[in-house]
Amino acid sequence: MNAFQPSRPPLQPIQTHRVTPRPKRRLRQRSYQVMALETIAKIGVNLVISGAAISALIQLLPYHWSQQDKLRAIRIDVKQMEERVYQLQTEFSRNFDPRQANMIRQEQGYRFDPNQRQVVFQKDMTEIEQAQSN
């Protein structure tokens, strides 16, 4: 039972595949052509993508410039409004300051404190004479 059994001969003879040697020069030449075509295709696709990107930028530049002009105008308006708000805030705080109430009344009503003397500016007589002589 555990004896060696005679080996069977293979049913079909093993055929050796004959490899015909290809000329290596022709294979290299073909691979160079494939690489050249692939490189040309890559360059072409990159040129198309670059052209599309450049045309998109050219179309967007005028829009960008107009937006920058609008932004500049808005910044100028904001600066003017900030100055006006600052002036109004100082005026508001001054108007509601109880220490300056008398001064504001004098400015708006042209009334003066009875203890205050009124100053009136007049031209000197020499200036009047010189103006008349000319």
Confidence at residue 30, expressed as pLDDT on a 0 to 100 scale: 78
Confidence at residue 79, expressed as pLDDT on a 0 to 100 scale: 97
pLDDT tens digit sequence for 15-67: 666 666 655 666 667 788 899 999 999 999 999 999 999 999 999 999 999 99
95 contacts: CB under 8 Å, gap ≥ 6: 104
Confidence at residue 57, expressed as pLDDT on a 0 to 100 scale: 96
Token pair for 73: 């105008």
Query: Residue by residue, what is the 3-state secondary structure of 26-94?
Result: HHHHHHHHHHHHHHHHHHHHHHHHHHHHHHHHHHHHHHHHHHHHHHHHHHHHHHHHHHHHHHHHHHHHH
Confidence at residue 85, expressed as pLDDT on a 0 to 100 scale: 97
Domain edges within the chain: 25-113
pLDDT tens digit sequence for 86-131: 999 998 888 888 888 777 777 777 666 677 777 777 777 777 677 7
Confidence at residue 4, expressed as pLDDT on a 0 to 100 scale: 65
pLDDT tens digit sequence for 68-88: 999 999 999 999 999 999 999
CA 94 to chain centre: 42
Confidence at residue 132, expressed as pLDDT on a 0 to 100 scale: 74
